[in-house]
Chain A
Amino acid sequence: MARSRRGFLKGAAAGAAVGAAAAVAPQPAARAQEAVPRNATAQPNTATLAADTGRRPATVASRIVENPGSDFMVDVLKTLDFEYLAANPGSTFEGLHESLINYGDNKMPEFLTCCHEESAVAMAHGYAKIEGKPMIAMMHGTIGMQHASMAIYNAYVDRVPIYMVAGNHADGAERSPGVASLHSAQDIGALVRDYVKWDDQPYSLGHFAESAVRAYDIAMTPPRAPVLIVANYELQAHPNPQRDLRIPKLSRTTPPQGDSGAVAEAARLLVSAARPLIITERTARTPNGTALMIELAETLQAPVSNQERMDFPNRHPLAGTGGTGYQADVVLNLEVNDVSNSARAARARGAKTISITSLNLSHKSNIQEFGHYPEVDLNIGADAEATLPALIEACKRLITADRRRALDERGAKLAEAHKQARARDIELAAVGWDASPVSLARLCAELWPLIKNEDWSLVSWQGFISQWPRRLWTFDKHYQYIGGQGAGGMGYGAPAAVGAALANKKHGRFSVSIQTDGDLNYAPGVLWTAAHHQIPLLTIMHNNRGYHQEVMFIEQQASIRNRGADRAHIGTKLWNPNIDYAKMAQAYGQYAEGPITDPKDLAPAFQRAIAQVKKGEPALIDVVTQPR
């Protein structure tokens, strides 16, 4: 239970600085008499100027608020066991902010200072992918919501739970003109409703309590996704008129499991298949999910293709697609967002496709993230991890001794194919070994021996670095890779890495991010957040000095139109002048070195940065790299 700080507040309020929460009508009965807005004499421009320069509008404070509604909101949030709350500060939640740091003692949740709402939400995104539960991201009215919107969309498509709280001046009669009006909306959830799973704007504290608990359950039930609770300004600021408001007990919904008949049919198809293939994207919600994936693959002796989050160990003999010539006759897709391409290819060769995903249970109309309609042979609307135990048991029941021998023979061939594929990858890593700029393979190969004996976690996406960690390193733990953005929105990488590193911190893990330059430039202030909150994270810059994917796209367009690619750098490159990321990180308070262009300089610089990270601090090494 939060300890009371009301005595402190009362004393402080007697001084010169009186907070806005103390300025509004303290009792419901007095609200109607508060006809004079807080800054009735201010013109909008003046109010805007006052807000920008830190001066507060004139107030009509007449009494101390002894029991603000936002204290009760903190009581509610504390029941949900949040470790952290990330936010860029804003006046629409100033009451709740004050309650969190004073009444709530800035613990459970602890306030994380962010320089952008997109950073706050993306930090929560990365945190949830490691910790398996949400943290709070708080947004300030219309502007905070719009700043955050891209990060929310990424998390929605990536099926990651984020618990969002937004401040809003809902009551037009109490709202002051100027900034408060500019930052308020009639239906603020509408700004992001297309890509949150659920939102609500409670109009009483009792309603807040119920919706806050409900929102947590909805966010965590597969398909997981961000949820939004609006904390109306007036509800935060006014005294809580009810001393004994009840906070509902969280009652978690169990994940949906596949229909037993459909699961039995899936098992029949898989066990009888000559060349089954398992494709997984987001199956392992928990560490047990990885263990179940291994059990399924070994039961079937089927290869597992896993290029998203760490669902399946990359050095397992069954990791891969089966090698050259392995034409799958049954493809099992587990939590794959869009199976239409693989299903089309399977149909063309007469193969069967099975899909198990909870995504089928939750669709919205506007955003088209669901892709093409999946023409699959068996479409199971369920959470894959929750369904795996039944599927594994069903498969085991069908496997006779003869079938087991055949499966094991297949497994031996798959293991050999895996071994050969790995040898090819390592051979390819030698290409351009001494090149400058540095090859991505060399960068990852130099880094691996320095971290492999740590309890490491890769908290960045591998798509822009040609998957070199997956090809060279050994991934065998659930938290060792968090996958990508979800919706492909840049600006996710740096803050998600910081959020994931924050989650790793209490477990004593060593977090490493191979950070693209274009992504970091969206909101680099998160480097300061990492330094300020002492979040240990090794950031290695993949500095190819541009939005490289777009360079290639413009080249392709120029080719199609029979024009040269000599202008493809316009609007796509980040050079002239080159950006000095070491200086950038140093300015934000991090240890940093670079730019490094000679691959021989990598290992010593990495070692120095690793030493800093082991002290509990973030560090950054800028490496000028080949494009991919």
Chain B
Amino acid sequence: MLKFFLLVLLAATVNAQGNAAHGKELFVKYSCYACHGFSGQNGPGARLVPMKIAQAGFIAYVRNPPRPNQMPSYSAKAVPDVEMADIYAYLKTLPDSAPSAKSIPLLNQILTAP
């Protein structure tokens, strides 16, 4: 746990702005889409949209995920902090496309079917 907070502290020094356009390229380049979907929310990995954690927490998570057998860890050597900031900036631009099932006629029909 201490290690996690230290990583958060370290990551907090990264430029918070980030380049979303570059982040979009990096999201594909680093194959983030493979588990999280091109949408950032479709796939076997965690939903990244809407991004609810701060940039520092996001970077700390990627550096040291709690379940590395599911989410691979990526060090600063593999993905530099500045690129992590760009990916984070991109994820923040992605729309939350998860309406309630009841609001989608197709899904509501399935939900209410006998």
Task: Decide whether A and B assemble into one complex.
Answer: yes
Q: Mark B71-87, 1 if CB is under 8 A from A, else 0.
A: 01111011100000000
- B2-10, B51-59, B103-111: which lies at the interface: B103-111
- With A426-B107, A556-B72 known as contacts, the answer to whether A565 contacts B31 (CB < 8 A) is yes
CB-defined contacts of A552 to chain B, threshold 8 Å: 31, 34-35, 44
Chain B residues 93-110 with CB under 8 Å of chain A are 97-101, 103-104, 106-107, 109-110
CA of A569 to CA of B31, assembled, Å: 8
A430 close to B78 (CB less than 8 A): no
Closest B residue to A452 using CB positions: B113
Let me know if B39 is at the binding interface, CB within 8 A: yes
Contact A559 B37 (CB under 8 A): no
The CA of A426 and the CA of B78, in the complex, are separated in Å by: 37
Inter-chain contacts of B68 with A (CB < 8 A):
559
Chain B residues with CB under 8 A of A563 = 77-78
B window 23-47: CB within 8 A of A? 29-31, 33-35, 37-39, 41-44, 47
What's the Cα separation between A626 and B103 when bound, in Å?
A: 22
For the complex, give the distance between the alpha carbons of A423 and B98 in Å.
15
Most buried by A among B29, B42, B103: B42
Contact with B along A305-334 (1 / 0, CB 8 A): 000000000000000000000000000000
A564 within 8 Å of B (CB atoms): yes
In the complex, A441 Cα to B104 Cα: how many Å?
13
A548 at the binding interface (Cβ < 8 Å): yes
User: Which of the 9-residue segments A89-97, A365-373, A389-397, A432-440 touches chain B?
Assistant: A432-440
- A52 on interface, CB distance cutoff 8 Å: no
On chain A, the residues within 8 Å of B98 by CB distance are 430-433
Contacting pair A564 B42 (CB below 8 A)? no
Of A164-172, A442-450, A476-484, the one contacting chain B is A442-450
The size class of the interface chain B forms with chain A is 35 or more
Q: Nearest chain B CB to A316's CB is how many angstroms away?
A: 13
- A520 interfacial contact with B, CB 8 Å: no
Task: Tell me how far the C-beta of A117 lies from the nearest C-beta in chain B, rounded to whole angstroms.
Answer: 33
Contacts of A430 in B (CB 8 A): 98-101, 103-104, 107
Query: Are A434 and B78 in touch, CB under 8 angstroms?
Result: no
CB-CB nearest in chain A for B29: A566
Given B34, B100, B110, which contacts A568 in the complex, CB threshold below 8 Å?
A: B34
**Does the CB pair B106–A445 fall under 8 Å?**
yes
In angstroms, Cα B73 to Cα A559, docked, is 6
CB distance from A328 to the nearest CB of B (A): 24
Q: Do A474 and B78 touch across chains, with their CB atoms under 8 A apart?
A: no
Are the CB atoms of A551 and B34 closer together than 8 Å? yes
Q: Is A23 at the interface (CB under 8 A from chain B)?
A: no
Known: A432-B98, A558-B72. A564 touches B30 (CB 8 A): yes
Interface size on A, residues (CB 8 A): 39
Bound CA–CA A626/B37 (angstroms): 6
The one of B30, B109, B111 in contact with A565, judged by C-beta atoms closer than 8 angstroms, is B30
Residues of B within 8 A of A559 (CB): 68, 72-74, 78
Q: Which among B78, B101, B104, B111 has the greatest number of chain A C-beta atoms within 10 A?
A: B101
Q: Give the docked Cα–Cα distance between A427 and B111 (Å).
A: 9
Q: With A and B bound together, what is the CA distance between A422 and B42 in angstroms?
A: 18
Residues of A within 8 A of B111 (CB): 423, 426
Interface residue? A177 (CB, 8 A): no
CA of A604 to CA of B70 in the docked complex: distance in angstroms?
38
B70 → chain A, closest Cβ, in Å?
A: 9
- Name which of A431, A440, A548, A565 has the most chain B CB atoms within 10 A of its CB: A431
- Is the CB–CB distance between A627 and B78 below 8 Å? no
Find out whether the CB atom of A426 lies under 8 angstroms from the CB atom of B101. Answer: yes
* A433/B72 in contact, CB under 8 A: no
User: What's the least CB distance linking A84 to chain B, in Å?
Assistant: 36
**Cβ-neighbour of B104 out of A433, A564, A626 (below 8 A):** A433
Any chain B CB within 8 A of the CB of A79? no
**Interface presence of A628 (CB below 8 A):** yes
Interface string of A399-437 (1 = CB under 8 A from B): 000000000000000000000000100110111111101
> How many angstroms between the C-alpha atoms of A474 and B111 in the bound complex?
11
- CB A443 to nearest CB in B, in angstroms, measures 11
Which 5 A-B pairs give the minimum distances between C-beta atoms?
A559-B72, A435-B39, A564-B78, A626-B42, A432-B42
Given contacts A426-B111, A562-B78, A568-B34, 11 further A-B contacts (CB under 8 A): A430-B101, A431-B42, A435-B37, A441-B42, A552-B35, A558-B72, A559-B78, A563-B77, A626-B37, A627-B42, A628-B37
**Residues in chain B within 8 A of chain A (CB atoms):** 29-31, 33-35, 37-39, 41-44, 47, 68, 72-75, 77-79, 97-101, 103-104, 106-107, 109-111, 113
Q: What are 26 pairs between A and B in contact, CB < 8 Å?
A: A430-B98, A430-B100, A431-B47, A431-B97, A433-B98, A435-B39, A440-B42, A446-B106, A466-B44, A472-B110, A474-B113, A551-B31, A552-B31, A559-B68, A559-B73, A563-B77, A564-B77, A565-B30, A565-B74, A566-B30, A568-B31, A568-B34, A627-B33, A627-B34, A628-B37, A628-B42
